[in-house]
Structure 1
Amino acid sequence: MHYFSQSFNYDHPWAHVVIGMWHKYPNPHCSHVVTVDVVDRSVDPQTGIIRTERILGCKQRAPVWIVKLFGGSEDAFVREISFVDPSTQCTTISSVNLSLSQFATCNEMIRYAPAPGGCTTFTQTAEIQARVAMWRAAADKLESWLAQRFEQNAQLGKVGFTDVLRKLWEEASDRERARASS
């Protein structure tokens, strides 16, 4: 099993980050995510917690040895479930791959929470595990490749989301200034 973890602060308040997360895709930095479909969204009437389930469609070029050994295609799908709690100002997102999950799983957890100075702390962890115990050498190689790909995509995601937040809130500030000056 391979583990990945990172944590950092976005220079935006929690409410801005939560609004931004719904605008993360499409994103030129994360061009591997090609579709986002909301499967279900509900609000708990007692707690106000918003639960959203989405399916992300991705295109990833896999090494030839993976395609030969496990089959599959460039198309991959990920199930994501998020909980936005406005009372605690905490957002949690869990995701797991649906494609080729009989061979490997990637369980990811993300958390957004307020931080001092009007920032938002982002925490991300992932557990990547191959499920081909018969072929330990292939499993190790597969896990290493998946972990490397996950880390690359996580860094692209950070850059892309920072861009989304900047554009989203710069545009809002520009509109507000324009209204104020008219």
Structure 2
Amino acid sequence: MVVYFRNRQTFSHDFETVTLAYFNRYPNPYAKHVKSIDTIDRHIDSDGRLHQTKIICKAGSLPQWVKPFLGRINTSWIVEKTIVDPKEKTMTTYNCNLDHTKLLRVEECTKYHYDREKNTTEFDSTVRFSSGFRKFGNLNVKDRIEDWSKAKFAEHSKSSRMGLKLVMESVRQKMAESIQSQRLKQKL
């Protein structure tokens, strides 16, 4: 069994604010588990789309029943691939863990799309949880790991959205201050 989680939301921000906030979402008070972020590739293709790949190190606590499989390990490395199409005003992101994949592989694909009529940016995210464990008699570690991961992800996705919204408000405020500053300079 593979477990899925789906999340949809609308941000009352334009596409530029959402994408700028997404690329600058760390650090924020809701993401203290993020320990480091490194951009390993960034380029613009012939169609004008931005492609970026990052490696992210995250820390977290695991339930006691998982510790026999991982020991004292409490960090995980995530690859994040992002494609931004400024003409179509779309952004697609793909994240997955690079380690502990036999225990659990988490793959998240999110699509952001700007609605020009409503001046909002909508996102639709699908997360796939799959464990490499098999059933051992009546002991179903695989399903337990996948179900626990889905529940934790749903819980963390709320704080992740709150962190992104906080950064969006900061971006919006900084953009407004910059515009006001430019207008003042033009008057002088």
TM-score, with normalisation over the residues of structure 1? Answer: 0.93
Structure 2 matches for 1:111-122, cutoff 5 A?
Answer: 111-115=111-115, 116-122=117-123
- Alignment RMSD (CA, Å): 1.5
**Secondary structure at 2:153's aligned position in 1?**
helix
The code of the aligned residue for 1:93 comes to T
**Secondary structure at 1:30's aligned position in 2?**
coil
Distance 1:132 1:107 in 2: 17
The code of the aligned residue for 1:43 comes to I
Please tell me whether residue 35 in structure 1 is matched to residue 36 in structure 2: yes
Match of 1:18 in 2: 19
Distance 2:184 2:41 in 1: 41
Distance 1:168 1:89 in 2: 18
**Secondary structure at 1:40's aligned position in 2?**
strand
**Secondary structure at 2:146's aligned position in 1?**
helix
The code of the aligned residue for 2:178 comes to R
**Secondary structure at 1:175's aligned position in 2?**
helix
TM-score, with normalisation over the residues of structure 2? Answer: 0.90
Question: Which is further off, 154-163 or 165-174?
Answer: 165-174
Please tell me whether residue 66 in structure 1 is matched to residue 66 in structure 2: yes
Distance 1:145 1:88 in 2: 37
Match of 2:153 in 1: 150
**Secondary structure at 1:101's aligned position in 2?**
coil
Distance 2:102 2:141 in 1: 14
Structure 2 matches for 1:47-62, cutoff 5 A?
Answer: 47-62=47-62
Distance 1:67 1:111 in 2: 34
Residues 20 and 171, structure 2, Cα contact 8 Å, conserved in 1: no
Gaps of 5+ in 2: none
The code of the aligned residue for 2:132 comes to R
Structure 1 residue runs of 4+, over 4 Å off? none
Residues 7 and 124, structure 1, Cα contact 8 Å, conserved in 2: yes
**Secondary structure at 1:29's aligned position in 2?**
coil
Gaps of 5+ in 1: none
TM-fit CA distance, 1:171: 2.2
Residues 26 and 34, structure 1, Cα contact 8 Å, conserved in 2: no
